[in-house]
Chains A and B, each alone.
Chain A
Amino acid sequence: MKPRGHKLQESEKDERTGLGTGLWKRNPIVGTALGLCPALAVSYRVDNAIALGAAVFAILLLTAATMMPIGMQVPLRYRFMLQLVVSSALAAVAELLFQAYAPSVASRLGIYVPIIAVNCLVLGGAEHFGSRSTWGGALLQRLIEGLGFFVALLVISVVREVLGSGTITLFRMGTFDGVVHVGALESHPASLFGYAAGALIVLGYLQALAEWVSRARKERGA
């Protein structure tokens, strides 16, 4: 087994930014394990996960887009603080939007929306940002990361909610009340998957799957 640090360096050197590699290998949750705390805390319901995933995706992208034109004008050592101001502002906007249009989601997500401002994923972008040569490349990178975060969170939350509550909670649309019921599991769900322990178990399997896929791919390439 290779130490984790070594693996990270290796993926850092890997300059390909293809969608597949980004979604698997550099996926924030299953690959580099960034932004885990909010992801695990809210992923017991699918609608939570969609809301948080969308918020992180939007803030990630908008922070990068805002920083691009002004970031280059600012000396490197102030760039980080500037980015923090931008992401905090965007997180505040996101929280107000949730409170206005989806108050129940806002109350469930609670602190996890404001702290997107200091999400490892968003902060990590500041480090990446300086090293990227082109704006387009950097933006694409953030896009893939945000998408990867969203997809991983969605997968975790679907598994957790189906096993842990026997439902899939989406959003109310017309006559659809937003809840998909999953058979007999609903009357006797394995509540463990609603707890943090269940989140970590599901995450572990997802990471193992990612590792397995990347290993299989490497073997095929070699």
Chain B
Amino acid sequence: MIDRVSLYEAPHVHQGATTRRIMWTVIATLVPAGAWAVWIYGWRALVVILVSVAAALLGELIGNLLSRRFTLRDGSAVLSGLLIAYTLPAGVPLYVPIAAALFAMLVIKASFGGLGTNWMNPAVGGQVFAYFSWSGALSAWVTPRFWPQGIATGPPLGLSPLEYIASHSVDGAHLAGKVSAALLHSYPVSTAAEATASWISDSLRLTIDPHFVDLFFGNVPGALGGVSVLLLLLGSIHLFRRRIITWQAPVAFLTSFLALVWVFGGLPANRGWFAGAPVLQLFSGATVLAALYLISDPVTTPLAGRGMVIFGIGTGIFAFLIRVFGAAGESVFMAILLMNVAVPAINRLTEKRLNETARS
């Protein structure tokens, strides 16, 4: 019981023992998604993960030596390194995770005083640093194990679903194209997914695009940890139960993001209102990874529940704008960084509403 109370008070994580337990719990729930990535993309995925974690630990150690405050064992550096690797493709050159993790630990975290005092989410910042520095390397996708064998002659070996749709449309504006079935029809799909989709349509009388099945299970070229929506959801159930993740930010983020995609997503492709593809956007571009694991960082998000809602809605709006009207598939990361900037303001706003007498 005491356990539960102290865990619920997420902003107070800078108490040693609790922080450590939360961090290692989060890491444990991330393991299935990573194991899946290693299985479908091969050992290269494991190398990326290990290199990223090692670089994060090295960065944390350097930061600790400079500040003479040792936090290496609290797991936060391991978690940041892991999350950075989870946002990268399996074929990424290894200098990218190294540089991103060192940047995250030293520039974003240690420079501002270490764990608890950094205003920007280190993992997300490292990812965005890598994106702006080596954007080409960040689409070094690896073809998953369960794709049909004959696709070498098919269209887009090296493209993720979002990139494929982008490459297919006119004027470069279509990321959210209509119902993705229309645009994804020639995209590779596994036989297992086709079987599952037909089983669902037979037994439940629901028509499902088999591509969505592949996307949901994580059988497409994608970011290591973000690709398997199913395993991320399963892993996070434990975190929700322990209240390490609260529901406000993820729900607010997904609601605003998906609603905006649905309403306005079709406009850039001249398909009119209410023609976006929310399911496609939900299952691709590491949206679920961001919603469950990146948006819930206790240090760089608002303290109160109401603030979390504002934070989530804002992240959804920016993610929608950048993904649908910009070009970046990794829009959720940039959206989180933009909202990190607003966190002190959100905290102030919600604080005053909660306690009117505190106004000075």
Partners in one complex: yes
- A-side interface residues toward B, CB under 8 Å? 188-193, 195, 197, 201, 204-205, 208
CB A175 to nearest CB in B, in angstroms, measures: 33
Nearest opposing residue in chain A for B136, CB measure: A188
Which of B16-24, B126-134, B208-216 forms contacts with chain A? B126-134
Residue of B93, B111, B132 most packed against chain A (CB within 10 A): B132
B132 touches A195 (CB 8 A): yes
B129: A residues at CB distance < 8 A: 190, 192
Residues of B in contact (CB 8 Å), total 10
Residue among A188, A193, A201 with the most chain B CB within 10 A? A188
Question: Which among A192, A204, A205, A208 is the interface contact of B133 at CB below 8 angstroms?
Answer: A192
Asked whether A190 lies within 8 Å of B99 as measured between CB atoms, the reply is yes
Q: Could you tell me the distance between the alpha carbons of A192 and B138 in the complex, rounded to whole angstroms? A: 14
Across the interface, name the chain B residue whose C-beta is closest to A208.
B111
B263 on interface, CB distance cutoff 8 Å: no
Which residue of A188, A191, A204 contacts B132 across the interface (Cβ within 8 Å)? A191
The dominant DSSP class at the A interface is helix
Contacts between the two chains (Cβ within 8 Å), count: 22
Main secondary structure of the interface of B (DSSP, over half): helix
CA distance in complex: A201, B133 (Å): 14
Residues of A within 8 A of B93 (CB): 188
Q: How far is the CA of A193 from the CA of B99 in the complex (A)?
A: 13
- Taking CB atoms, residues of chain A closer than 8 Å to B133 are 189-193
Smallest Cβ-Cβ distance to A189: which chain B residue:
B133
- B273 within 8 Å of A by Cβ? no
User: Which residues of the other chain, B, contact A201 by a CB distance below 8 angstroms?
Assistant: 107
Report the bound CA distance from A192 to B125 in whole Å: 12
Which residues of the partner chain B approach A204 to less than 8 Å between Cβ atoms?
111
B107 / chain A contacts, CB cutoff of 8 Å: 201
Q: How far is the CA of A193 from the CA of B132 in the complex (A)?
A: 9
- Of all chain B residues, the one with the shortest Cβ separation from A185 is B95
Residues in B neighbouring A208, C-beta threshold 8 A? 111
Residues 100-148 of B contacting A (Cβ, < 8 Å) = 107, 111, 129, 132-134, 137
Q: Point out the residues of chain B lying under 8 angstroms from A190, CB to CB.
A: 99, 129, 133-134
Closest CB-CB distance, A191 to chain B, in whole Å? 5
A205 CA to B129 CA, complexed, in Å: 17
Chain B residue nearest in CB terms to A204 = B111
A202 to chain B minimum Cβ distance, whole angstroms, is 10
Q: A190-B134, A197-B132 are in contact. List 10 more A-B contacts (CB 8 A).
A: A188-B134, A188-B137, A190-B129, A190-B133, A191-B134, A192-B129, A192-B132, A192-B133, A193-B133, A195-B132
Closest to A197 in B: B132
Q: How far is the CA of A193 from the CA of B129 in the complex (A)?
A: 9
